[in-house]
Structure 1
């Protein structure tokens, strides 16, 4: 009876789920009281949110609601194409059982100045489970109403039917050899793919950064059982510099990069002023943009870690012309939104921004955005050096002739 009810629910709610909603197709938080969204493969904290189809692997998804109490949060997942457009499939075509469910696991914070409720979810589960591979968007909404968006979160389900080889080399373009990293990709066991230029897409991403992704459709070489993507001018990335980082695991003792801590009705943390690092490679250990919730003042990291108003400071020594400066990292999904833009309020080229962040260790960097063209510049303030350690992700998509959707048939990750 439960399976029959699930089938009927898929049919009845199919049009409801696919209807136009105010959700975007990117990692995004829609409500200001929602903070610290995390999504990763449970096998490794803060790993890429990739799981294998019909395996024991699961995704961990969680977030905090700073208004506290308990709320009626619901969720669904929607299948997408390789370029993150809805694939147009009905939920019954890509989901087992139900098409939406309520988030029922939550805990209240304790021993913190900032009260909040911590919600968590594990996918797949008995209520919602994907049955085909591909890109998926997790949608969280209030009171079962898709017109009340809370969070959208990308994740991947892969059906690994081929092997992916990767190598990181200096750029093959002579002027860029000291600043760029070139990613060569080889696909093996590709005998069943008859028309790779039309049916296969290879997406290479640097450090999980959405706007640092390159899509290649045409292989540079085709061999029996192998496709090579080694064109000299593709998958060539500015290497950047190592990420900056700060440590607020304790709000009693100053951690790395912390200049001052003030404890009052709310915790306030001021970071030391940053300077541009354009002319030098900074040899430090980083987490390639990740952040980790940690707490040295309490026991439970998820519910006893407090929040603090963290002030970033950037001393540019000169003004910006037709550019805006942002602080980015995985903690804010690298989004160049007004909430993450630094401002020169004193008029002396000293830019500041205050963000509410949970206790832990954070990687971050500064990027510029051209106010006219919208172009993103990651190197003017940070520099770019081949020696930089970066992680690279490769996603391989395949659309069978006559099929209506793209499958994710290969995934791999490597670091330089």
Structure 2
């Protein structure tokens, strides 16, 4: 009997592992507008300091409306976003799961929804180790069928970091790429072998799909690791993001062509064109982020409405089998059927519509050729482009079962350093 119970438990764990993706993911179509950020600034990088007063804020909408009981938990992961294998009692100093108690119904909107909100840490869920964490939200009693997962970070700042951004060392890419040289100060850590115990991950604009891993410093001297290899950390600068302003449905905003308000809201954007042949032009953007805002209401969490937003790109691909996707933080930079655009060969035009909540949105177009992803063929790439780079320093002590996050730094190509 005990053997059968153990077998059932193991099979249940395998099913749960198979269904949960250790990435930012929405598992049900009725769940929309998921945000997780440091509460000091909307849409900021989801990182908090260990044993500090920092708070993360999670928000999402359930378009099915009504009241549902959603529970959540968090799991410690390594730098590659694989489960650390620690028991919850090792990385939590509180309960292992909790219920989301803060929810509100939409008001005066065509699309009815219920907005859920959660603050982390709280009295019931408190991480006690630094590192990567996966937040899982699921219906009460059914953790094997999550509605969403979100990545976030807890840092115990012990490593210092300094970085500089220069044009690419490769002459061909000097006008398009941003080369990063940096150093990590590990003198406050008990590091025996920096080549095996320390690794630094660099993200461009918080994107895991545009990142590099650094494990081999070129020089180690006096507790300082120097990373200035000729070829590594050479990022395409990209271009300033396209954006549109849908803070109001009563009048046109930036990049809005027409708005139709009937039984549902429909928004037609201005036509877009490729930017690869144009010189760099500064344009204020939010580095791919989005912000939920409604100038016609009081609380955009519950009175911002949803609209069908239509995108049009005047672009003829090199091959008819090429695919174009529209991405941004609003869809977790996803390249799948939900972000894939339709092609009208007779007009040389890509088009699609997305169901989005009112606000300000950054976006850009991605080309896919023969399974190869090209981030710059449509929107271009320039060294001058303003970008955020997040530096994450991990430390796995010799014999340790998990990786600590011991350093974090945000560096902007034009503004310099800041914590967020």
Q: TM-score, normalised by structure 1?
A: 0.94
* Pair 1:117 & 2:109 matched: no
Render the CA deviation track for 1:199-237: whole Å, top value 9, x for unaligned.
111100101112101001111111102111111111110
Residue of structure 1 equivalent to 2:102: 105
- In 1, the alpha carbon distance for the partners of 2:246 and 2:394 equals 40
- Residue of 183, 197, 200 corresponding to 1:199: 197
* Pair 1:392 & 2:383 matched: no
Q: Is the 1:247–1:256 Cα contact (8 Å) retained in structure 2? A: yes
- In 2, the alpha carbon distance for the partners of 1:256 and 1:320 equals 32
- Mark the CA change 1:382 to 1:77 in structure 2 (over 3 Å): closer, same or farther: same
Structure 1 unaligned residues grouped into runs of 5+: 1-12
Residue of structure 2 equivalent to 1:408: 405
* Pair 1:294 & 2:306 matched: no
- In 1, the alpha carbon distance for the partners of 2:149 and 2:372 equals 24
* Pair 1:312 & 2:286 matched: no
- In 2, the alpha carbon distance for the partners of 1:318 and 1:137 equals 38
Structure 2 unaligned residues grouped into runs of 5+: 1-8, 414-420
Residue of structure 1 equivalent to 2:64: 67
Q: Is the 1:289–1:364 Cα contact (8 Å) retained in structure 2? A: yes
- In 2, the alpha carbon distance for the partners of 1:375 and 1:20 equals 29
- Residue of 5, 22, 31 corresponding to 2:28: 31
Q: Is the 1:178–1:386 Cα contact (8 Å) retained in structure 2? A: yes
- Mark the CA change 1:243 to 1:335 in structure 2 (over 3 Å): closer, same or farther: same
RMSD: 1.7
Residue of structure 1 equivalent to 2:322: 323
Residue of structure 2 equivalent to 1:7: none
Q: Is the 2:178–2:235 Cα contact (8 Å) retained in structure 1? A: yes
Render the CA deviation track for 1:330-368: whole Å, top value 9, x for unaligned.
101101011010001464321111111010000000001
- Mark the CA change 1:200 to 1:118 in structure 2 (over 3 Å): closer, same or farther: same
Q: TM-score, normalised by structure 2?
A: 0.93
- Residue of 148, 154, 157 corresponding to 2:154: 157
Paired residues, what number? Answer: 402
SS in 2 for 1:197: helix
Q: Identify the range of structure 1 (81-90 vs 190-199) with the bigger mean alpha-carbon deviation.
A: 190-199
SS in 1 for 2:147: strand
- Residue of 182, 187, 201 corresponding to 1:185: 182
Residue of structure 2 equivalent to 1:222: 220
- Residue of 252, 267, 276 corresponding to 1:278: 276
Render the CA deviation track for 1:372-413: whole Å, top value 9, x for unaligned.
3x3211110011110100110000000000001100000001
Q: What displacement does 1:74 show?
A: 0.9
- In 1, the alpha carbon distance for the partners of 2:61 and 2:79 equals 29
- In 2, the alpha carbon distance for the partners of 1:45 and 1:80 equals 25
Q: What displacement does 1:189 show?
A: 4.0
Q: Is the 2:159–2:393 Cα contact (8 Å) retained in structure 1? A: no
Residue of structure 2 equivalent to 1:261: 259
Residue of structure 2 equivalent to 1:209: 207
Residue of structure 1 equivalent to 2:124: 127
